[in-house]
Amino acid sequence: MNTAEILAKAADVIEKQGWAQGSFFERPTGDDGLPDLSIDARTCPVCARGGISVAVGQLPTFGDGAYVEADAIADWEVVATAEKVFADYLAAREGWPADRTMRPDIEYWNDTSERTAEEVVAALRDCASHVRDAV
């Protein structure tokens, strides 16, 4: 799967499963009020970064490089590339500094209080379109 396909699929994931703010994913709670750990995190509502990870079949937290097993290194690399492309797209669109150390990140953008699921989905699709057009 190439970067444009990953970004488009991340938008599909959010449309299908729902969107999360403030965390990579939102696991439903059980009757006891605690997160229901029997539910696969890949099926829960996800943030933009979580959607990118789920798009390649990984856990929503995969983009952090956490819990990466040897056989998943290739997936981690494509997730990291897609996240970088999306972050650079957001930087250009939002007028953020080019220097990655001096600008907000995907989480900041996703978690901004006025952000909507529709905006996140549209941005992922638009970025995917830009990537396809650049090839």
Of 75 and 27, the one with more pLDDT: 27
First to last CA, the chain: 15
What is the model's pLDDT at position 14?
98
Residue 66 confidence (pLDDT): 53
Q: Confidence band (pLDDT; 50, 70, 90) for 69?
A: low
Q: How far apart are CA 24 and CA 13, in angstroms?
A: 13
Residue type, 4: A
Tokens of 128: 């995917």
Among 89, 102, 97, CA closest to 52: 89
- Predicted confidence band at 11 (pLDDT cuts at 50, 70, 90)? very high
- Note the pLDDT of residue 123: 98
Interval 116-134: pLDDT, tens: 999 999 999 999 999 998 8
Please report the pLDDT score of residue 67 as a whole number.
Answer: 52
* Average confidence score pLDDT of the chain: 87
Instruction: Tell me the per-residue pLDDT of 14-58, one tens digit each, with 9 for 90 and over.
Output: 999 999 999 899 988 888 988 888 888 889 999 999 999 999 988
**pLDDT value, residue 133:** 86
